[in-house]
Copies of this chain bind each other. A is one copy, B any other.
Amino acid sequence: MGSSALTLVLALALVACVTPAERKCLLSGSWRSDSGCRMVVSVLSKDGSFSGSYLPGPVADNSEILTSPLKGSQQDTGQISQPIFSFTVHWQLQDSDTAQTTVFLGQCYVGTNGEETLHALWLLREAADNPAEDWKATRIGTSVFTRIK
């Protein structure tokens, strides 16, 4: 094997190794959470903002939850491969007498295999009648999302 061929092989190997680091996470697309929910995120605007929809999964115990709109933003991916993101879901309930909103705050990680995963914490708030009942308004948890191909 000539030296130019060897150089080519080495160059290809190098590309294969460093590609994951070059891969930048973009939230656009379809995702499934570890609890079986799905979400679809639109194309990002230039300023990093996006919209989409959140669909409760088969494990939802509350069949009155409908597909709900989400809005959010992620950091500029021009410089950052694993950006922080946040989005808000205003829940559309069939029985509309209680308002509920969830905010997600997370980071998109790109694995050594190029696979993206979203790790997020969320806060879920139900409307309370007054400040004295505010203490019980907020739930908390985590979600991990993987891309639906």
Determine how close the nearest CB of chain B comes to the CB of A102; give it in whole angstroms: 8
Known A103-B105, A134-B109; contact A86-B84, beta-carbon cutoff 8 A: no
Q: How many copies, total?
A: 4
Residues from 88 to 107 in A contacting B, C-beta threshold 8 Å: 88, 90, 99-107
A2 at the interface (CB under 8 A from B): no
List residues of chain B with CB within 8 A of the CB of A88.
Answer: 72-73, 86, 103
- Cβ < 8 Å to B, chain A residues 36-84: 36, 49, 59, 61, 71-73, 75, 80, 82-84
Let me know if A136 and B139 touch, CB within 8 A. Answer: yes
* Residues on the B chain within 8 Å of A105, using CB: 101-103, 123, 125, 138
The answer to whether B128 touches A107 (Cβ under 8 A) is yes
**Chain B positions within 8 Å of A139 at CB level:** 136, 138-140
A31 → chain B, closest Cβ, in Å? 15
A140 — which chain B residues lie within 8 A by C-beta?
A: 121, 123, 138-140
Interface size class of A (residues with CB under 8 A): 35 or more
> Are A135 and B86 closer than 8 Å at their CB atoms?
no
Residues of A bordering B, CB below 8 Å: 35-36, 49, 59, 61, 71-73, 75, 80, 82-84, 86, 88, 90, 99-107, 109, 111, 117, 119, 121, 123-125, 127-142
A-B contacts, 29 of them at CB < 8 A, read A59-B132, A73-B88, A73-B90, A75-B90, A75-B99, A80-B99, A80-B127, A82-B129, A83-B99, A84-B101, A84-B125, A84-B127, A86-B103, A88-B103, A103-B123, A105-B125, A107-B128, A107-B137, A109-B134, A121-B123, A121-B125, A121-B138, A121-B140, A121-B141, A123-B140, A124-B136, A138-B139, A139-B140, A142-B142
